[in-house]
Amino acid sequence: MRRILIVGAGQSGLQLALGLQAKGYDVTVMTNRTPEEIRTGRVMSTQIMFRTALRYERELGLNFWEALAPRVEGLGLSVAGTLPGVPGVQRLIDWVGRLEGPAQSVDQRVKMAGWLDTFAERGGRIVLHCATVSDLDFLAHRYDLVLVAAGKGELVSLFPRDPARSPYDTPQRSLALAYVHGLGPRAEHPEYDAARCNLVPGAGELWVIPTLTTSGRADILFWEGMPGGPLDVFQHVDGPGEHLARTLELLERYAPWEYGRATAVELTDAHATLAGRYTPTVRDPVGRLPSGGLALGVGDAVVVNDPLTGQGSNSAAKCAASYLASIIERGDEPFDADWMRMAFERYWASARHVTRWTNAMLGSPARHVRSLIAAAGGLQHVADRFANGYDDPADFEDYFFDATKAEAFVAEATAVGVVG
């Protein structure tokens, strides 16, 4: 039985651990928190998982909350701006695309605590320890494969930044989220749940995501502000109450159509807010330990994109699924550096589309992209295809990046009369 050590207990680490465990591998997970500490701690992220990522969980029998989480059947996009003679900020563009399969969001405090409990119940070994490079150096020879699925801390230094795949060297957004109860229904299509991305040109974005948290149904209000801009106001907040107050002040000023739903919201719990920033980065997947051992980076440890496009948990799930297949196919052969690079490149074949699309959205959208987003407001087929690209970002290669292809796609949608 091959012995595998996974450091990190997030989406990618635990999904991979449970998948390997089900295939008969001897798996150890090293994490710095118990399930109860995770469950009662601070929120760790936003997340919305689309059809493909959810299918990977379902195939492993890990979809424990599927019947409890809100069924997100649509994905909407709005663009804020002003109109001559009209006071205040308006929605210049507004549409909702229907998803081909429902998405869902489960608070990672719920999911990771539950998955850790499941891993232990199935005989997995959990080591409670905040791992360092020297720890891995000492332990590496005891395992056939060491995987690092921790996207923060000292261990990330094992994986050098890949400058050819990392156009940014500073954070591109200041991030601030709050989990709330009491958000009212959407005015448009209230008969089904939809996640909303509101673009505020020159300032940032607001996501509104239906979710399942420790206290049941909730919604996530998630601001992404350009550093130094008017949405970047969460660095020195005095507690969760002030964080929520600033969140609502920004809603009232920059997305009043969302503020109208939020006048009665309250935080889901005392740990329901989070703020920070990080740099989108792609790293070399092979980490070399001081004594010559190797570690393979997983998920955010090697590919971390800005959450603007809602891909974090999806990418983590896809990475875990790809690595699981590569490990099983390796059989009894050694997990050497060549195999590690091959396993990563197999994952990168799909991950590269996420990185390219997310980096494009972080910048100032090209004219044809603005036209494409505007066209979706009147062409339901365009809105639906754009929305479903969040599940399969590779589809954007066919029409998003090239002006000629974008124009041809809109012209075709217009010609067949698919009008929303």
Render pLDDT for 40-65 as a digit per residue (tens, 0 to 9).
Answer: 999 999 999 999 999 999 999 999 99
Distance (Å, rounded) from C-alpha 78 to C-alpha 193?
Answer: 16
Examine the domain organization and report whether 116 and 142 are in the same domain: yes
Question: Does the residue 420 lie in any domain?
Answer: no
Which residue's entry shows tokens 């590269």? Answer: 352
Supply the pLDDT for residue 420.
Answer: 43
Sign of CA dihedral 34, 36, 37, 43: positive
Nearest to 77 by CA among 409, 308, 358, 357: 308
Helix (H) or strand (E) holding 58: helix 51-59
What's the angle, vertex CA 304, arms to CA 285 and CA 26, rounded to 5? 50
Tell me if residue 292 falls in helix, strand or coil: coil
Examine the domain organization and report whether 223 and 348 are in the same domain: no
Distance (Å, rounded) from C-alpha 164 to C-alpha 283?
Answer: 10
The CATH number assigned to the domain holding 80 equals 3.30.9.40
Q: 247-261 as b/e, with b when 16 or more CB fall inside 10 Å?
A: bbebbbbbbebbbeb
Q: Which residue has the higher pLDDT, 215 or 85?
A: 215
Examine the domain organization and report whether 201 and 246 are in the same domain: yes
Examine the domain organization and report whether 78 and 226 are in the same domain: yes
Examine the domain organization and report whether 84 and 180 are in the same domain: yes
Express each pLDDT in 330-349 by its tens digit.
999 999 999 999 999 999 99
Kindly report the backbone phi and psi dihedral angles of residue 404, in degrees, each rounded to the nearest multiple of 5, phi listed first: -65, -45
Q: Distance of CA 149 to CAs 24, 51, 179, Å?
A: 20, 23, 25
The CATH number assigned to the domain holding 351 equals 3.50.50.60
Examine the domain organization and report whether 135 and 15 are in the same domain: yes
Examine the domain organization and report whether 143 and 286 are in the same domain: yes
Q: Name the DSSP letter for residue 309.
A: G
Supply the pLDDT for residue 307.
Answer: 96
Which domain range does residue 372 map to? 365-415
The predicted model scores a pTM of 0.96
Examine the domain organization and report whether 51 and 155 are in the same domain: yes
Nearest to 147 by CA among 314, 310, 27, 315: 27
Q: Distance of CA 219 to CAs 64, 178, 210, 255, 327, Å?
A: 20, 8, 4, 16, 37
First to last CA, the chain: 56
Express each pLDDT in 259-289 by its tens digit.
999 999 999 999 999 999 999 999 999 999 9
The alpha helices in 226-308, defined as continuous H runs, are: 239-254, 256-259
116 sits in the region (left: phi over 0; alpha: psi -120 to 50; else beta) called alpha
Tell me if residue 82 falls in helix, strand or coil: strand
Distance (Å, rounded) from C-alpha 319 to C-alpha 10?
Answer: 12
Region 30-34: what's the mean pLDDT?
Answer: 97
Kindly report the backbone phi and psi dihedral angles of residue 284, in degrees, each rounded to the nearest multiple of 5, phi listed first: -60, 130
Examine the domain organization and report whether 15 and 99 are in the same domain: no
Express each pLDDT in 121-152 by its tens digit.
999 999 999 999 999 999 999 999 999 999 88
Question: Does the residue 402 lie in any domain?
Answer: yes
Half-sphere exposure in the Cβ direction for 21 (13 Å, CA)? 25
Examine the domain organization and report whether 352 and 391 are in the same domain: no
| Contact by Cβ (8 Å): 241, 247 | no
Examine the domain organization and report whether 201 and 241 are in the same domain: yes
- Tell me how many domains the chain contains: 3
Domain boundary among 276, 293, 327: 276
